[in-house]
Amino acid sequence: MKKLYSNKLTIILFILPALLLFLLILVAPIFISGYYSLYDMNGFGKKAFIGLENYGELFTSSSIGFVKALGNALLLALLSVAVQLPLALGLALLLGKGRKGERGFLSIYFMPVLISTVVIGQLWLKIYNPSYGLLNVVLRTLGLDSLTKIWLGNLHTALGAVFVPILWQYVGYHMLLMFAGIKSVPPEYREAAMIDGATEGQVNRYIVLPYIKPILKICTIFAVTGSLKSFDLIYVITNGTPLHATEVPSTLMISMLFLRNRYGMGSTIAFLLIILCFAFALIIGRIFKDKED
């Protein structure tokens, strides 16, 4: 048996397909993106080494507007942590207490996560439609005509309008993870605290939250890196318009690649995004660790 299970050749045969796929499609492209980012490339054979010029241009050129796009993504990250996660946590704490129908509500709240972002995006496009959209129709019916707007065409409202569906769609996801964490708190802990006279708020604060800290860390990492990477809903709803007001790094990357054929610049944005995601994941991990001590 031991002999059977330490045969080097068999090990290699079993692990090789997965390893090859993994190395070729996930790992190698990171390095290739980093390499491309040092070149001026157009995808049709032109390829000239320019060092860090792409990076310089990205941060200084106002016509590309990367700084603004990155700012938008960071704002989304901030809103996710400040709005989406507390909302998810609140609902999870309320649901996790063992109320009747908790599974039903949980299932309803999780549903938007499963629906294709294209579908959600198209739906919200219709909701925001200036003439026939649900939002303006409701405002008009309530007699609030003055509040109706061209939500997605207005420089001041467009960004907020695309953020709402993004934040909305993933509340259920974070809530599900937190709910699972809360359900794993041993009931004895809860009960002991209750017997000692703790209120519901105190139980949540001193028993449940510390217990689910690993989950809170993961949710925070997902919320922040997810915001930095956000693409789908923005691409479907506004694709950066009006006047780059809703541009995020991913939409900028796509337009660099496929509208302007600037593969080097596109790779630069991709590479920066990867680094930012890893960096934020590390930083958030560190913050949560410090609090543990």
Partner 1 sequence: MKLGDIFLNHNKKSSPQDESFQNKRIKGKEIWVYIIFGIWAIINLFPVYWMFTFSLKSNEEIFGTNVAGLPKEWLWSNYETAMGSGNMGKNFLNSTLIAIVTIAIVMLFSLMATFALTRFIWKGRKRMNNFFMLGLTIPIHAAIVPIYVTLSKMDLINSYLALIIPYAAFSLAMGILICTGFMQELPIDLDEAACIDGCSTWGIFFRIIVPLMKPAVATVSIYTFLQCWNELMFATIFISDSVHKTLPVAIQALSGTYATNWGPIGAALVLATFPTIIFYVFFSKKIQDSFIAGAIKG
Pick the stretch among 24-32, 51-59, 67-75, 283-291 that binds partner 1 (CB under 8 A): 24-32
Closest by Cα among 170, 181, 166, 164 to 111? 170
Does position 235 interact with partner 1 (CB under 8 A)? The reply is yes
In the bound complex, what is the minimum distance in angstroms from residue 229's beta carbon to partner 1?
5
Task: Pick the stretch among 55-63, 68-76, 152-160, 246-254 that binds partner 1 (CB under 8 A).
Answer: 246-254
Do 212 and 176 form a contact (C-beta atoms < 8 A)?
Answer: no
Note whether 80 and 226 are within 8 A (CB).
yes
State the minimum distance, in angstroms, from the CB of residue 63 to partner 1: 21
Q: Please enumerate in sequence order all residues whose Cβ is within 8 A of that of 232, keeping only pairs 6 or more positions apart, or say none.
A: 117, 118, 121
Nearer to partner 1, 43 or 156 (CB): 43
Q: What is the token pair recorded at 158?
A: 């467009």
The encoded tokens of residue 7 equal: 């045969």
Stretch that binds partner 1, among 53-61, 64-72, 75-83, 231-239 (CB under 8 A): 231-239
Q: Which of 89, 220, 247, 266 binds partner 1 (CB under 8 A)?
A: 266
Tokens representing 284 are: 């958030």
Contact segment (CB under 8 A) with partner 1 among 61-69, 71-79, 165-173, 240-248 equals 165-173
Give Cα 115 to chain centroid, integer Å. 16
Total chain residues near partner 1 (CB under 8 A):
102
Interaction with partner 1 in 83-142: which residues (CB under 8 A)? Answer: 91, 94-95, 97-99, 101, 103, 105-120, 122-127, 131-132, 134, 137
Q: Shortest approach of partner 1 to residue 17 CB, angstroms?
A: 5
Of 161 and 253, CB closest to partner 1: 253
Query: Rounded to the nearest whole angstrom, what is the least distance from the CB of residue 111 to partner 1 in the complex?
Result: 6
Shortest reach from residue 124's CB to partner 1, in Å: 8
Residue 43 found at the interface with partner 1 (CB under 8 A): yes
Identify which of residues 83 and 123 has a Cβ nearer to partner 1 in the complex.
123
**Which one of residues 139, 231, 242, 261 is an interface residue with partner 1 (CB under 8 A)?**
231
Q: Which of 235, 236, 288 is nearest to 85 (CA)?
A: 288
DSSP per position, 159-180: HHHHHHHHHHHHHHHHHHHHHH
**DSSP classification of residue 81:** I
The bridge status of strand 39-41 relative to strand 47-49 is antiparallel
Quote the CA–CA distance of 285 and 231 in Å, as a whole number: 24
Compare residues 64 and 218 and give the one whose CB is closer to partner 1.
218
Q: What share of the chain is helix, strand, coil (3-state, %, to 5)?
A: 75, 0, 25
Amino acid found at 97 = K
Nearer to partner 1, 138 or 156 (CB): 138
